[in-house]
Structure 1
Amino acid sequence: MDEQVTVRRVQPADIAARGAALAAQLAEVLMDCVAGGASVSFISPLPTERALAFWHGVLEGAASGRRALLVAERAGRIVGTVQLVLDLPDNQPHRADVAKMLVHRGARRQGVAQRLMEALEQQALAEGRDVLVLDTVTGGDAERLYRRAGWQAVGSVPRYALMPDGTPCGTTFYFKHLAAARG
């Protein structure tokens, strides 16, 4: 693992002080992932304006506490990110969704994703959430990461989404119970 990478939760004060700069760095990571073929809700080419608009919305959710936004940074630059969606229905106060696990191609295979997921699980526990759910491209690289980290596949839906080039792809849904919170 790259010890020069730090993972932290983006705080409302960070967003108030430097939201535009955070959005710009996050947009760079997102655009790199889409350009590299990652199916993360966007079609290629992803315009900068569209990426920035997405991240401004995420930052608004993070500032209001509806989601926890974690970033991995190296030398003051964001190289990866993941979100914990906390704004769920009243009958699911124990659960959270994991969204937009992204690592810049220049920082992959260095333990960044693993560190982000470990920090995300700790954040979930701090928020009182012990059931996590996510989805990912069936057969994609991320499946190895999730399985190694103890996530369990629930099932797959063929043709659920599109790859950045417009090709249909399947999506596999995963869950993880965080034992420390279940008692």
Structure 2
Amino acid sequence: MKVKVINIIQPEQIRSLQFQLIELLGACINEGASLGFYAPADAKRLTSYWQGVEASVAQKKRSLYAIFHDDMLIASVQLVPCQKQNGQHRAEVEKLVVHPQVQRQGLARKLMAALEADALQQGIKLLFLDTQTGDKSELFYQALGYSKSGEIPKFVTDSNGTFSSTSYYYKLL
């Protein structure tokens, strides 16, 4: 599959891509990904979320990376640099999503490579993230060289109220 990786999406692009961003995130949520929202995905909540991302990108407090196939958004990830003076060397990786129809084709790996390269250019030396304990994403992050620093029990719930632990990972660049 021939894809185009866009290192950084600009705020005005987010607005024009809003429907595709909502569809992408919603598809992943509806397939069971723990991304801070319950399934079935609620378009109103996702719209509000992406409007917040747009504002954060406009304020240079977040970067959004994306992969397109024939002008169709199929994957994205976000980099959120720490805003504290003593933490400007670190950033959080958020919402790595690949459309369920194109998963397991190396797209997440390409996105993470673009994100990590950009992070280094920004002087970021430490990346961290969280994911649901036991999720398939744990193996993916470990394969990319991220180390598990621990987990917090009963950190999140699903739509049925069932608690899950969250695992924290980091990578020194």
Give the TM-score range, shorter chain.
over 0.9
Do residues 114 (structure 1) and 109 (structure 2) align? Answer: yes
The alignment partner of 1:91 has SS state of helix
Matches within 5 A, 1:101-180: 101-178=96-173
Matches within 5 A, 1:83-102: 83-102=78-97
User: Cα deviation per residue 1:7-41 (whole Å; 9 max; x = unaligned)?
Assistant: 213343xx32x443311111111100110111110
The alignment partner of 2:17 has SS state of helix
2:7 alignment partner AA? R
User: Cα deviation per residue 1:90-149 (whole Å; 9 max; x = unaligned)?
Assistant: 110100011111111011001111111111101111111010010011111111110111
1:124 alignment partner AA? A
| Paired residues of 1:34 and 1:164 also in contact (CA < 8 A) | no
The runs of at least 4 aligned residues of structure 1 exceeding 6 Å deviation read none
Number of residue-to-residue matches in the alignment: 173
User: Cα deviation per residue 1:50-95 (whole Å; 9 max; x = unaligned)?
Assistant: 1111011101111221111001111111111110002421110100
How far apart, in 1, do the equivalents of 2:161 and 2:100 lie? Answer: 21
The alignment partner of 1:157 has SS state of strand
Going from structure 1 to structure 2, the CA distance change for 1:60 and 1:87 (only over 3 Å counts) comes to: farther
Do residues 30 (structure 1) and 25 (structure 2) align? Answer: yes
1:132 alignment partner AA? L
Equivalent residue, structure 1, for 2:69: 74
Equivalent residue, structure 2, for 1:181: none
2:102 alignment partner AA? A
How far apart, in 2, do the equivalents of 1:6 and 1:90 lie? Answer: 35
2:127 alignment partner AA? L
Percent identity of paired positions between Structure 1 and Structure 2: 35
Q: CA deviation at 1:164?
A: 4.8
> TM-score by structure 1 length?
0.89
Considering Cα pairs closer than 8 Å and 6+ residues apart, tell me whether 1 or 2 has the greater RCO. Answer: 1
How far apart, in 2, do the equivalents of 1:10 and 1:131 lie? Answer: 19
| RMSD value, Cα | 1.4
| Paired residues of 1:67 and 1:86 also in contact (CA < 8 A) | yes
How far apart, in 1, do the equivalents of 2:14 and 2:84 lie? Answer: 28
Q: CA deviation at 1:174?
A: 0.3
The alignment partner of 2:85 has SS state of coil
Q: CA deviation at 1:165?
A: 4.7
